[in-house]
Structure 1
């Protein structure tokens, strides 16, 4: 038979060592950001029913949590507060003794090298569950900016290393950058939730943070999942307004958007592997339908391969253990 000429791609797949040598995408513990839900009270470690393996924890239990996270090689946490009291203006978000402010001080005292990222929003603190000031059933953009600036400044004063505004108000990066600068926090970077879709994948988070809207939805300020070009417009605006890092949220159904943003902008890019994505895998794993370790590591690799530099994920501790 005449010689057939074709490419032999399998040559580079022959052994585990060879496959490792030519592997293009690598995960590291430093890529992972672990979310923490902080509640009032003492000795509370409440498992979130829709997120098996994830917990709300009280301030007094932060020590053990931070020690574990540090030991695993994770370098950053993002803090979400779950206050006992709420009001229409979300006062708990920006008072000096707010739950996130108190947690930030504790984390920085326990582990000064740990990066504390403060989620800067109002929805966990408002009695209506929306991310800003509501009048006549509508979230008021510019009035909300004033409260978001107060929140960011109070978080920076408490010791937050990074401010991560997630509210999706127009102009939120410009307003927060100005507010931080005027308060003397010019060195504090903004990790902007630049591209945040109005997604059904957020359901379990709303239980975890007790932040479900009490009426309507968030479609007037979060993005339509059908839109792609709008994501680039949002990211461009945030970069022009002073964002230092960009977030795309959710991750798995938006890998194309992660790649689009990566191709367009040189800023560090964060993908938020959200609660619904976590819960779907956890439920399947608990039923024995999937190999949890294999599917999680494949998922996180796909997110990084799409262009993310870092990932906020509830699988961070598990992934860090597996990477060890």
Structure 2
């Protein structure tokens, strides 16, 4: 799998080193990483890709269908929605509707191995808008991620996201060190709450019975999460999520879920919103990341997340 941006990777490394100074200055106010015990798997890619940022992302990914009219009001008007692209993956998706992604995730064991840099774990959550024609070419799909709630204890993650133009709220999380925790009723729970506003995102999801089919195939989530991401479009993030490794097979295979999402955060303005009976998946994936790229360089990019069976020994 090629990674074609070594100079930009170095630029990202320099930025991270500078941000490390901010983290060290604020560490006395942070919750020490040592109090956390995560159940996430260790990063299997750091040795294979030492010059890239690598890590593990354990996430709940949920699709919220909204009307195309609402989507066009929320998404900046210069970015056309590539409806044909998502209908190719979801031919039965309701007419006049658009799939918003909620990503509630825990970033774990992040490394830039060649530079001896590691980052503390952190959590993040936000609404993301895929299948957008950022470049105006009519076919390259990009994902707009305008706002995130990010663990306040990780200054590097907060400032690194802001560098894309993202609206970032330093937040506290339940659970503190994992992607979700189990409730007494068997469901899983995840909540991020801003420390600087009333914004929050909360998910309560239950595993689907075998008799119920998830309307969204894993390929949809693989496609969306591998689309280049942007906020204000000055630069783009290229996170390559690998869905076909030993981290997501057997007892660790993706779990189809259904439940509810409650939120009060950008770009859904006003009072809190709630979406019930929404479907998604819970899955852990290793990733390789190229930061702060020229968005034009991602034209035609097909973020496959690795071919079927690739890196199966990881």
> Aligning the two structures, in what range does the TM-score lie when normalised by the shorter sequence?
under 0.3
TM-score by length of 2: 0.25
TM-score by length of 1: 0.25
Higher Rg of the two aligned structures: 1
Larger RCO (alpha carbons 8 Å, 6+ apart): 2
